[in-house]
């Protein structure tokens, strides 16, 4: 949820000309190259923090595995995936 705070964080850190814009990723079976991106980037990224999430008791192992299966489900023929992230830019004076 930090995306919604980016403008304030950059502005408070002394950046000027701060600009924040939402970016949406959407994939379904009509865009197979996007589905591969979901598998190879998003799902792989989430899977990569499994041990840390379990060690911090953020989630139990069964729920984690169910969530990963659900993510893979979005990449099946009748599935869809949508994700919004935020891009922020600014200029830091010396």
Across the range 16-27, mean pLDDT stands at 95
Q: Where are the domains of the chain?
A: 2-92
Residue 14 DSSP code: T
Mean pLDDT (whole number) for 57-73:
97
Structural tokens at position 31? 């865009």
- For residue 64, the Cα-to-chain-centroid distance in whole angstroms is 16
pTM, whole model, 2 decimals? 0.74
For residue 94, pLDDT over 80 is answered with: no
Q: What is the DSSP letter of 4?
A: G
Q: Please tell me what DSSP assigns to residue 3.
A: G
pLDDT of 76 higher than 80: yes
Is 83 in a helix, a strand, or coil?
A: strand
């Amino acid at each position: 949820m930090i995306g919604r705070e980016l403008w304030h964080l950059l502005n408070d850190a002394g950046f000027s000309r701060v600009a924040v814009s939402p970016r949406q990723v959407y994939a379904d079976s009509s865009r197979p190259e996007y589905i591969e991106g979901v598998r190879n980037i998003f799902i792989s990224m989430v899977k990569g923090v499994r041990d840390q999430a379990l060690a911090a008791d953020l989630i139990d192992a069964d729920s984690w595995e169910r969530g990963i299966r659900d993510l893979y489900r979005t990449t099946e023929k009748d599935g869809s995936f949508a994700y919004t992230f935020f891009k922020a830019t600014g200029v830091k004076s010396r």
